[in-house]
Amino acid sequence: MPQPPTTIVDELGIALANLADNATGAFVPTLRLGVTGLSRAGKTIFITALVHNLLTMGRLPGFAAFAEGRFIGARLAEYPDATIPRFAYEQHLATLTGRPPEWPEGTRRISQLRLVLKFQSGKWLSGWRGPASLNLDIVDYPGEWLLDLPLLGLSYAEWSREALERAEGHGAEAAGFLEALGGVDPLAEASDLAAEHLALAFTDYLRQSRELGAMSTLPPGRFLMPGDLEGSPALTFAPLPPQQAARNGTLYAMLEHRYEAYKDRVVRPFFRDHFARLDRQVVLVDTLKALNAGPAAVADLETALTAVLACFRQGDVNPLLRPFSKRIDRILFVATKADHVHHTSHDRLEAILNRLVADAARRARFAGAESRSLAVAAIRATAEGTINEGGETLPALIGTPVAGEELDGITYDGKTEIALFPGDLPADPDSALKGEPPVMLNFLRFAPPSRLERNAAGDVVLPHIRFDRAIDYLIGDWLA
């Protein structure tokens, strides 16, 4: 799928915004980092951990500037765009480190945060000039919004055809919507009541699909993550069987108009004002959840990732055009919740993620952008140990399951620590994607760690897995 089509007005708006960014960063360069993920992949946790580790000089041996003693520190700064909500770092950290600790609420709207990083360059000439600074702008947005970008290249008839084909293949979760669809005449007189009834049934179908692990069925993403558009007429449409030359005033014409308005007033501004201005992108993927749901969920996740990553503006930029145009030059794919499997399966988890994003990674390399996959836990919720089962010693995870989690007929209370054999991931990524043999994981959601160390300054130290390597890949070259 090609990148979303843009108009001359879009490109002019992007160029002016980039020019303004460069003007405000004339003396301190700015790196804009986008963080997104699909279906509860851990965006809020990733950003909170990123900010906290940079502010408190966390344990980051794989972050070269820190390991070499060149990273001086970081501070929070006011974000230059006062119209964008601030990422609630302090509130999220308080939730994670409270008594009892809890996972913070997930991303529901776009938010941003600026960190000013101070460092000593490792280059001779730059180092001779003294410490340097970098503005790190972190842009957080729901993955469901990212799924909307391919809509910019689809007409209402094309989107309806694809959406209805998917619904017909999704059985029980789509039954209510298909029943509601069968009760309307697309060529009947336009009716707000009929549009609302159909949109509600369609939204319910999307919610059920998400709960079952389906991702490619989800656009329009604002139906699930409406943000400040909740209750708006802009979200009151649904797919209808394509009609030949539907006249004005019909239900079909009404929903087609609302679909086009959704693209022009919701999707396109998001692409133009935020997405097209990124330098680097992190894509968080809950690979384990898809594997646990079965091969259909894994195939659906691969389809969704390939579609949305095709929308990235990626590759090299002519130096003469850099003040006006930006491209994503590095993409980091992160398999989150690496602490939910034993470390002996981490390489296999990365291999499976590499297989899922193979097409997108090839496209990125062809465009001139780098990409990498890592299995990461931004905040580690488990420790490792062993258990004896049937005379056999098995590797185990030790942690406290979230209240309400169930396994083997046991419902956990959120207070009891357990030791669990999580299962093994297959060595062959293709077999994992096909489910042959089936991937058997004892998959539970664990609560945040309740016992945290503190550094000499009294700041909590957040345990992690490979998070330092993720930070180094994302910003390390800017601090070289």
Can you give the pLDDT at residue 321?
39
For tokens 């604002």, the residue is 222
Residue 346 to residue 135: CA distance in whole angstroms = 32
Question: Tokens standing for 462?
Answer: 């957040």
pLDDT recorded at residue 79:
85
* H or E element that contains 448: none
Q: At what angle do helices 172-182 and 192-211 cross, to 10 degrees?
A: 170
Q: What is the DSSP string of 50-111?
A: HHHHHHHT-S-TT-HHHHTT-EEEEEEE--S-TTSPBP-HHHHHHHHTSSS--PPPPP-S-E
Q: Bridge partners of 280?
A: 33, 330
Which tokens in the block code for residue 225? 């993550």
The pLDDT, as a whole number, for residue 276 is 78
Q: What is the DSSP letter of 170?
A: S
Q: Is 396 helix (H, G, I), strand (E, B) or coil?
A: strand
Residues of the chain with pLDDT under 70: 1-26, 39, 124-127, 213-217, 308, 313-326
Distances (CA, A) of 175 to 56, 70, 170, 182, 462: 51, 59, 8, 11, 45
Instruction: Output the DSSP codes for 28-57.
Output: S-EEEEEEEEESS--HHHHHHHHHHHHHHT
With a CB cutoff of 8 Å and minimum separation 6, the contacts of 270 are 110, 141, 145, 148
> DSSP character for 470?
H
Nearest CA to 475 among 66, 17, 10? Answer: 66
Residue 102 is encoded by which pair of tokens?
């809890």
What are all long-range contacts of 400-407, with beta carbons under 8 Å and residues at least 24 apart? 400/446, 400/447, 400/450, 401/444, 401/445, 401/446, 401/447, 402/103, 402/444, 402/445, 402/446, 402/447, 403/447, 405/444, 405/445, 407/442, 407/444
C-alpha–C-alpha distance, residues 135 and 76, integer Å: 10
Instruction: Give the neighbor-by-neighbor strand order of the sheet with 111-119.
Output: 71-77, 111-119, 132-140, 30-38, 280-285, 330-335, 370-375
Question: Coil, strand or helix: which one is 409?
Answer: coil
Domains and CATH numbers, the chain: 8-141+274-379+465-479 (3.40.50.300), 151-263 (no CATH), 383-434 (no CATH)
Question: What local confidence, expressed as pLDDT, does residue 254 receive?
Answer: 95
pLDDT value at position 145? 81
